[in-house]
Structures are given as structure tokens and as C-alpha cells.
Structure 1
Amino acid sequence: MKYSLSAKNLVCRNLENRAGYCADLLNPKQSKEITGLLRTDSGLLSTRFNQVVSNAVALPRILQRFVVDYFAERHSPFSLWHCASRPLDEEALKEMGLVEQPPLIAMAAEVKQLATDGKPLADLEIRAVANAEDLLSFGELIAEIHDSPRERAQVKKFYQHVSTLPEHKYSRLKFYLGLFQGQPVATGSLFSSADALGFYDLGTLPEFRKRGIGTAMFQHLLGEVIHSHHKHTVALVDEEQQDLWLNAGFYAVGEVTRFDFAPERSGAHVPNSRQGANGNSPDRGGENS
């Protein structure tokens, strides 16, 4: 399959923008970048909200000093999302304690080419999150989908904090709840960057899967995108879910690989001073805008 580099860049820029935006809601101005690499630090112990996005093949020593040492010093997990076509050095990543996760398929579309079947699902109400109570319910559902008790607690902490903020502080994020017979069971969100609207957080509680609820949430968000002002839309999708997106008008534009880091499992070196994390040139690329 021939991939479109420019379309894949849309996906990666949206991922970068969202990672920095979410981290800054809790820990302002701590996102840092050097050429081809963005490091976001939410201040949480979370792979979900401490994200490093790579658009180039960074040298292992740069990843070690700029990323791994930084988070290891803080005893904090993170996730590395590699968007470049050329792979990173997998052996070097293993030595640094980074564990590869299943790849995701980058999807993109022109909004004018999308189509939704518009079929509602009986007993399911989908509504935009409009108050702090709904936002807390959204966070509870996102947390329930995680296997790690620590990650669940950190996810709840993020949404508890966001629920205290005025809406304009997180206006680029739009959250949606799916209620089945009045019970919150599904989530979805959209993130608006300058050049695309991105799909995120599509999930359903395990006991309510295989009932069409996730598909209904996808179709609802698709309708929101179609009626938006955006020209392009993007997503990162599990490989086995591609058909749903292809049928709606998306096309695959490449793969994004992900690696997770947990300091207690990695045995990573922790610098004796802050110099390894903050002091030298890898950290002087300026703040993410």
C-alpha cells in the first residue's frame, strides 16, 4: 500500500498538539522539543499523559538523556510514539527499558468525503459533556478501561483537575458520553488542532461490548466532524478495526509504533544531578508552542 507522507504528518501533528495540550492543563510550560522529538510532562505518573512523540529517528543517546533519564529521575512512566517511517533501534530501546506495544494504524480523511449511516441504537443516548459531573463520569470510564491500578488512579486525577477548570481552558477538547439505559458505558473525544480534527478515547466498558455501542459512538462523532469547519480529520486505530473507518471514507496512511516505560521495571539509570535531564543541549530546543 502506498502511504501519503503529508497525510501521515497530519496525524502526527494532531497527536503532538494533543499531547502537549493535555499535559499543559496540569503542568504548564513543561513540554519541551528538539528537532523531531517532543517530550510532554503532565506531572502525573501516567503513560497516557506523559507522551513523547518522535517524527525522526533519534539517536539512542538523545533518547536516553532527553527522555529516559528525565522521566527516570522523576520515577515516572511515559509512552513513546514513533511516527517516522524508519524504525528506531529496537535493541537500544529494550536496553533503556522501553517495551514495545502493538502498532496503531494512522488514518486520515478529507471531511467532505466522509459519510455516516446515521442509524441510532436503541436504549443508547450519546451526549456532549457539558458539566463537571459529566466530565468526572467520563474520567471514571476511561480509567475503568485500564488494567493498571496506578494508571487508573492517575487518569481519574487528570479528569478531576480538568473538571475544576473553566471550559475555555480546555475548549480544543470535546468529550462525549454514551449512556446505555441511563448508565454511562462508552466514551469518545475530538481534539481540534490547526489543520485537523482528531478522534480519541473511543472505548466501551468490557461488559457492554459487541452490542454496537462503540460503532454508534464512532458514527456520532463522525457526524460531529462532518458538521465541523475542519477540512481534514485523523485517527489512530487498532489494525483489526480498520474496516469501520475505511467504510466511512478514511484511508490508511502508515503505522505509528508505541513503546511504554515503567521506571520500576526498567532498571534505568537515574542521574545524580539534574544535568542529565535538563542541563545540556538536548533540552534546549525551546518549549512546545
Structure 2
Amino acid sequence: MTLSVTNEDMLRAIDYNNIDFVMHFRHYNGDKGYYYSKNLKYISIRDYHRIVQTNFSNENDIVDLINQLRMSNKLWSWIVGPTSKPYNLCQILEQNHFKKQAELTGMYLDLNNLGTDSATDFQVKKVCVNDDIDDWFDIFIQGFGITAKHSERIKTLRYIYTELINEENQLFHMYLGIYKNKPSVCCSTFAKNGNVGIYDLATIPDMRRKRLASSMINSILNQFRSDGNRFAVATATDSGELLFTKLGFTPVGKFPLYKISQGIVR
């Protein structure tokens, strides 16, 4: 029996996958910087500081939280999904030292409708060893055009990701797409509750328009479908939305991403 789902169902599923993905970083054995409760979920490890969910009914509680963040002297980001409250959270953030950096699109794909696109001379490899991690981050940096000023953030992600892929009972995986023996595409996944989240999808500039990213996603999701997962989910940038749309993903809503913009208290 096939159960029907609504766009609202999938929007919430996307939000929960994103929350669980970011909060999974708390299993990193370095800094113990996280908070996980019914009302507030955030990660603060080295220079990675992100709030992923709030559940406050009172606007003053959010303002008090923002003031605490400003006092921390950290550059916080805050993603606003449909499960966060209060419902005017975006307005409160914009009135209190946060600036919208991006508006990501929540998208999903029923894995029963998975495509078959496959490039020639192309293979997908799960990242397991340090040499693969080096290649993965080289692609990630080139694909997203990350500059030297973000080098500390990359170091932080590398420390966290390296530890997470060595966990038992993994929920998190990293993948390389190799075209003609050259690592060219990367992504990561987080699978939970039958939903596979696609994250960090990037292609090095001189390997774009060769169907490599779509070939890798189809290959990975085919395996997850075989393992019993039903949906793939993603929060996509504007350029990512075009790719995911070609893969058959359906957009269902927006996820504004904010960064603290001023008034960091010293």
C-alpha cells in the first residue's frame, strides 16, 4: 500500500532531516558546543555556529537569545525552517542584527521516480580514507569557490566529517564522483527515517555540464532506494535548484538562511 504525502509533510521532513544532519555534528569528539532541547537546537564547534530550530511562543525569548548570541562574539548563522517558532521569526531576526544571506529551496524526490542518467567513464566512490578526504575537500572548495578567508571553517568541517565517517552505524556518508580517473564531483548524505538528505553537492568548474553530478546522485540514491529509503530531500541554492529540478525533485518551500550582521559585542 502506498501512502500519499502532501507538500507540507515533505517540507517538514526536509526540515527535520536538516536539523538532524547539523545536530549530528554533536557526536564529534572535539568541542562539546551544542544545545539540544525541545525549545532550542544549535551547534557551536570551533568556528561553526548555527541555530537550526527554535520553539518559542514569546518574541521576547528570541530577542533574549539573540542578545546572548551577540555577547558570545561568534559569527552565528540561523536557518529558519517550517518547524521553528514563533511564526514571525524571520521578521524578528531582521529587526535584531541578523541579515538574510540566502533563501534555500526545500525539495524532494520520490525514489520510485528515480532517473537513470549515467555518464560514461564515471564511477562513484564512498569516502573512507584520508586521501579520499583530501580529494573531497579539494572539490568542495573549488566547486563552491571558497576563498582563503573561510579556511578555518573548512578545517572545522574536515575535523568533524573525518570523525563522523568513522562512526559505527553511520547515518552520514561522503562520496566522490570520479570521471576519467579524476575526482570531479563530491557530495554527502544523511539518511534517517526513510529520507536521504543530499548535502555539499559540488563539481569542479572545468568538469561541469558533463552530467557528472546527476550521474552521481542517481547512483547513490539507487543504493539508498534498495536499502528501503523512500524519499530524497535537499535544501538547494538557486544553481542547485536547477540541477535537482532536472533530476525530478519537487520544490515545496523556502528556508531562509540568516547571519549575524552587526553589533558583535566585544
TM-score category, normalised to shorter length: 0.7 to 0.9
Q: Residue 16 of structure 2 corresponds to which residue in structure 1? A: 13
Q: Residue 46 of structure 2 corresponds to which residue in structure 1? A: 44
Once residues 246 and 132 of structure 2 are traced to their aligned partners in structure 1, the CA distance between those partners, rounded to angstroms, is: 31
Once residues 176 and 227 of structure 1 are traced to their aligned partners in structure 2, the CA distance between those partners, rounded to angstroms, is: 17
Greater shift after overlay, 4-13 or 140-149? 140-149
Greater shift after overlay, 93-102 or 195-204? 93-102
Q: Residue 3 of structure 2 corresponds to which residue in structure 1? A: none
Q: Residue 36 of structure 2 corresponds to which residue in structure 1? A: 32
Once residues 97 and 207 of structure 1 are traced to their aligned partners in structure 2, the CA distance between those partners, rounded to angstroms, is: 39
2:61 aligned counterpart, secondary structure: helix
- The alignment's TM-score, normalised by the length of structure 2, stands at 0.80
**Residue pair 1:56, 1:84 contacting (<8 A) in 2 also:** no
**Residue pair 2:177, 2:185 contacting (<8 A) in 1 also:** yes
Give the total of aligned pairs.
Answer: 257
Q: C-alpha displacement at 1:256, in angstroms?
A: 1.1
Q: Residue 117 of structure 1 corresponds to which residue in structure 2? A: 116
Note closer, same or farther for the CA distance 1:163–1:147 as it changes in structure 2 (3 Å cut). Answer: closer
Q: Residue 176 of structure 1 corresponds to which residue in structure 2? A: 175
Q: Residue 70 of structure 2 corresponds to which residue in structure 1? A: 72
2:14 aligned counterpart, secondary structure: helix
CA RMSD of aligned residues (A): 3.0
Q: C-alpha displacement at 1:229, in angstroms?
A: 1.9
Q: 2:264 aligns with which of 261, 268, 271?
A: 268
1:226-241 residue pairs with structure 2 within 5 A?
226-239=225-238, 241=240
- Structure 1: which 5+ residue stretches go unaligned? 271-289
Work out whether 1:4 is the aligned partner of 2:4.
no
- Structure 2: which 5+ residue stretches go unaligned? 1-5
1:199 aligned counterpart, secondary structure: strand
Q: C-alpha displacement at 1:15, in angstroms?
A: 0.5
Once residues 165 and 90 of structure 2 are traced to their aligned partners in structure 1, the CA distance between those partners, rounded to angstroms, is: 43
Q: Residue 201 of structure 1 corresponds to which residue in structure 2? A: 200
**Residue pair 1:96, 1:266 contacting (<8 A) in 2 also:** no
Could you report, residue by residue, the CA deviation over 1:259-279 in whole angstroms, capped at 9, with x for unpaired residues?
A: 122xxx512346xxxxxxxxx
Once residues 252 and 165 of structure 1 are traced to their aligned partners in structure 2, the CA distance between those partners, rounded to angstroms, is: 29
1:179 aligned counterpart, secondary structure: strand
Note closer, same or farther for the CA distance 1:176–1:12 as it changes in structure 2 (3 Å cut). Answer: same
Note closer, same or farther for the CA distance 1:143–1:239 as it changes in structure 2 (3 Å cut). Answer: closer
Note closer, same or farther for the CA distance 1:118–1:131 as it changes in structure 2 (3 Å cut). Answer: same
Work out whether 1:22 is the aligned partner of 2:25.
yes
